[in-house]
Amino acid sequence: MWKPIRLVPPNTRIDFMRYHKITFAISVIMILGSIGLLFTKGLNLGIDFAGGILMEVRAPQQPDLSDMRVRLGGLGLGEVSLQAIGEKNDVLIRLPQQEGGEEAQQTAIGQVRAELGENWEYRRTETVGPKVGSELINNALIAAGLAMLGIFGYVWIRYDWQFGLNALAAMFHDVITTVGLFALLGLQFDLATVAAILTVAGYSVNDTVVIFDRIRFEMRRYKTMPIPELINLAVNATLSRTTVTSGLTLISVLALLLVGGDVLRGFAVALVWGIVIGTYSTICVASPLLMYANLRRSKMHGGEEDKQQGGKGATRGA
């Protein structure tokens, strides 16, 4: 008879809660480090937010980026950023916002084309004004905030306010460390990255809700088991599901990162980090915080009473 593949043995009993203070310290360091990077190094804002001109061009042969930088820098258009992308002949050109409105932007584009010549293929040209970039930043912040509040409200209604608050803490942990990673690596932060961060928040809360549901189930079964042992029981019971789901999703996103090209690189990096840190925060942040949440077992109706005295007996009985 066919048997399901288990990455984690069914009788696993890892004492996650024993190390919760260490994982809390690691999380605090990552959050403070991310905030520090945002204030010191800042984000490499893409054209969506910073405004300016973006041109994707293809040279007739592999270009010399140093020579291109000197030639385009001599046009007086401000600091020119060049990045090799895709094929060896492809280059991404970024120019700062030009003073003088849309007409000035088109003039700058014409200057770049005249300098490079007609043999170059101009595959994509985008211009974004500073007002549009500012509006996009505000809209992105509002979207992220509403998404997190909506998830918090759902978990609160579905379980209790303590669960909702812990889920929100885990989401904040995942979002801020993802943003901090982009600041650390200097990766371009654009609208695609915001979409990835919102996806990370949803993925994180999906894992969190699964474990919270198991915790509530165990609270109904074992009314006298100490909360730390009960949380350990619930986390271990869902560990196989967590590793399989996260592992398969990670394989898919890694494929996107490796072969998706430069356009999707930031999106894929955010998802890869988000899956890893989301799984970590569910087990090592959201769940252990419940030990300090003063959970009221009286609200957990139904199920059988724990007739064994002490948590260890109940754990063995599970």
Cβ atoms 174, 286 nearer than 8 A: no
Number of domains within the chain: 2
Predicted local confidence at residue 24, as pLDDT: 92
Same domain, 79 and 209: no
In this structure, what CATH number is given to the domain that contains residue 302?
1.20.1640.10
CB neighbour class for 259 (10 Å; exposed up to 12, middle 13-18, buried from 19):
exposed
* Packing angle, helices 20-40 and 161-185, rounded to 10: 50
Q: Which two tokens stand for residue 33?
A: 């480090």
Predicted local confidence at residue 298, as pLDDT: 55
| Average pLDDT in the chain | 80
Residue labelled with tokens 């999906």: 206
Name the residue with higher pLDDT: 149 or 182.
Answer: 182
164 falls within a domain? yes
Predicted confidence (pLDDT) per residue in 98-110, tens digit: 777 778 888 888 8
3 falls within a domain? no
Cβ atoms 231, 311 nearer than 8 A: no
* CA 123 to chain centroid: 30
Distance CA 28, CA 22 (A): 10
Predicted local confidence at residue 299, as pLDDT: 54
Same domain, 39 and 75: no
Asked whether residue 263 carries a pLDDT value surpassing 80, the answer given is no
Proportion of the chain above pLDDT 70, given as a percent: 86
Predicted local confidence at residue 296, as pLDDT: 66
Same domain, 110 and 221: no
Predicted local confidence at residue 2, as pLDDT: 58
Q: Structural domain of residue 64, as residue ranges?
A: 52-128
209 falls within a domain? yes
In this structure, what CATH number is given to the domain that contains residue 74?
3.30.70.3400
Q: 0.85 exceeded by the pTM?
A: no
Asked whether residue 50 carries a pLDDT value surpassing 80, the answer given is no
Q: Which two tokens stand for residue 15?
A: 């004492």
Predicted local confidence at residue 190, as pLDDT: 80
Same domain, 40 and 64: no
